[in-house]
């Protein structure tokens, strides 16, 4: 409807071009040409909650009882804080876990704001099945950030939040039973190379005795990772079996599959 109001069939190409400058007012074909990807200028420090992790990775609590769990590139997710509070053995690692909690909390708040401003430019890339509306999801991101920050500050001596920069992890071989990684690999495939993906996944498998799970498998443009076939072949040549497994979760349109890796 908005498209028709802005662009009657009688308007010419110059007016169309000017209309595009109005940006977010426009919907339909022209707005999609203007931006068809979530335009994040950085790998953002925003995090999901424990229950979102269970849904994304199709996990139930009996899976978490099997041994130690690592959340790789965990950012301000509250998965580790909440899992620990429930009595599971969880560890989080991220390249930014060397900064004071106030710095991380400030960055987290800024990145939530940046991300959802950009999400508003590309509403067609998302489906509202799991989340009711924008406010609910922003609330969950702040809830995760708050729980992460409290845990990060309190548990320094127990070492549940470890600084680690992929493609290297500072853990001995087979330390964990399950390694999870969400919203890092594949999502930022426009700026992280295929070699980086292969090396990071091999490293996650090195520190894991069981299974690695990664979600989502789509880029910021909601398109499937373009090098998946080659990636799986390269991992297979290293003795690792990758499988694309459906999950019951979807927010980014079409992102309802995770990668599982085993030996």
Ligand X SMILES: C[S@@+](CC[C@H](N)C(=O)[O-])C[C@H]1O[C@@H](n2cnc3c(N)ncnc32)[C@H](O)[C@@H]1O
Q: Is residue 165 a contact residue for ligand X (CB under 6 A)?
A: yes
Counting residues that bind ligand X (by CB under 6 A) gives: 19
User: Does residue 216 bind ligand X (CB under 6 A)?
Assistant: no
Nearer to ligand X (CB atom), residue 34 or residue 227:
227
Task: Supply the minimum distance, in Å, between the C-beta of residue 19 and ligand X.
Answer: 33
- Chain centroid offset of residue 215 CA: 7
Q: Which is nearer to ligand X, 26 or 204 (CB)?
A: 204
Q: Is 98 in the site for ligand X (CB under 6 A)?
A: no
Compute the least distance from the CB of residue 121 to ligand X, in Å.
18
Q: Which is nearer to ligand X, 38 or 96 (CB)?
A: 96
Per residue in 54-86, is it b (16+ CB within 10 Å) or e — as a string?
Answer: bbbbbbeeebbeebbbbbbbbbbbbbbbbbbee
Cα–Cα distance for residue pair 188/262, rounded to 1 Å: 23
Task: Please report whether residue 184 would count as binding ligand X according to CB under 6 A.
Answer: yes
Q: How far is the CB of 107 from ligand X (least distance, A)?
A: 9
Structure tokens at 31: 């707005």
Cβ burial, residue 18 (10 Å; 0-12/13-18/19+):
exposed
**First-to-final CA distance of the chain:** 53
CA distance 194 to 7: 42
The first and second tokens of residue 113, run together, are 């704001």
| Distance of closest approach, residue 212 Cβ to ligand X, in angstroms | 13
- CB closer to ligand X, 26 vs 179: 179
Of the listed pieces 14-22, 23-31, 92-100, 117-125, which binds ligand X according to CB under 6 A? 92-100
Write out the two tokens for 263: 């030996």
CA distance 137 to 143: 10
The rounded distance, in Å, linking the Cα atoms of 147 and 198 is: 32
Which residue has the closest beta carbon to ligand X? 75
Closer CB to ligand X, residue 47 or residue 219? 47
45 binds ligand X (CB under 6 A): yes
Name the segment binding ligand X (CB under 6 A); options: 2-10, 59-67, 88-96, 225-233.
88-96
Minimum Å distance from CB 252 to ligand X?
Answer: 12
The yes or no reply on residue 92 touching ligand X (CB under 6 A) is no
Distance from C-alpha of 235 to C-alpha of 242, rounded to nearest angstrom:
7
Contacts with ligand X in 59-78 (CB under 6 A)? Answer: 73-75, 77
Of 246, 72, 75, 81, nearest in space to 176 by CA: 72
Contact with ligand X (CB under 6 A) among 80, 84, 182, 218: 182
Min. distance of Cβ 97 from ligand X in angstroms? 8
Contact present, 176 and 204 (Cβ < 8 Å): no
Binding site for ligand X (CB under 6 A): 43-48, 73-75, 77, 94-96, 164-166, 182-184
């Amino acid at each position: 409807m908005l498209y028709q109001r802005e662009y009657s069939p009688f308007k010419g190409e110059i007016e169309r071009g000017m209309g595009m400058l109005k940006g977010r007012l426009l919907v339909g074909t022209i707005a999609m040409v203007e931006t068809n990807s979530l335009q994040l200028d950085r790998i953002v420090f925003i995090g999901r909650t424990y229950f979102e992790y269970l849904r994304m990775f199709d996990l139930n609590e009996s899976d978490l009882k099997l041994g130690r769990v690592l959340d790789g590139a965990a950012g301000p997710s509250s998965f580790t804080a909440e899992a620990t509070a429930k009595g599971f053995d969880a560890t989080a690692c991220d390249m930014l876990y060397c900064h004071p909690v106030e710095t991380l909390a400030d960055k987290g708040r800024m990145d939530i704001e940046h991300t959802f401003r950009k999400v508003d430019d590309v509403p067609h890339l998302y489906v509202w099945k799991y989340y009711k509306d924008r406010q609910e999801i922003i609330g969950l991101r702040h809830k995760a950030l708050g729980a992460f920050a409290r845990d990060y500050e309190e548990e320094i001596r127990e070492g549940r939040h470890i600084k680690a920069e992929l493609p290297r992890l500072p853990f001995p071989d087979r330390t964990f039973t399950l390694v999870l990684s969400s919203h890092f690999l594949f999502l930022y495939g426009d700026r992280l190379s295929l070699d980086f993906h292969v090396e990071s996944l091999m490293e996650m498998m090195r520190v894991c005795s069981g299974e690695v799970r990664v979600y989502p498998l789509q880029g910021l443009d909601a398109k499937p990772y373009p090098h998946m076939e080659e990636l799986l072949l390269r991992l297979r040549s290293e003795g690792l079996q990758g499988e694309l497994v459906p999950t019951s979760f979807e927010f980014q349109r079409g992102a309802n599959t995770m990668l599982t890796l085993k030996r």
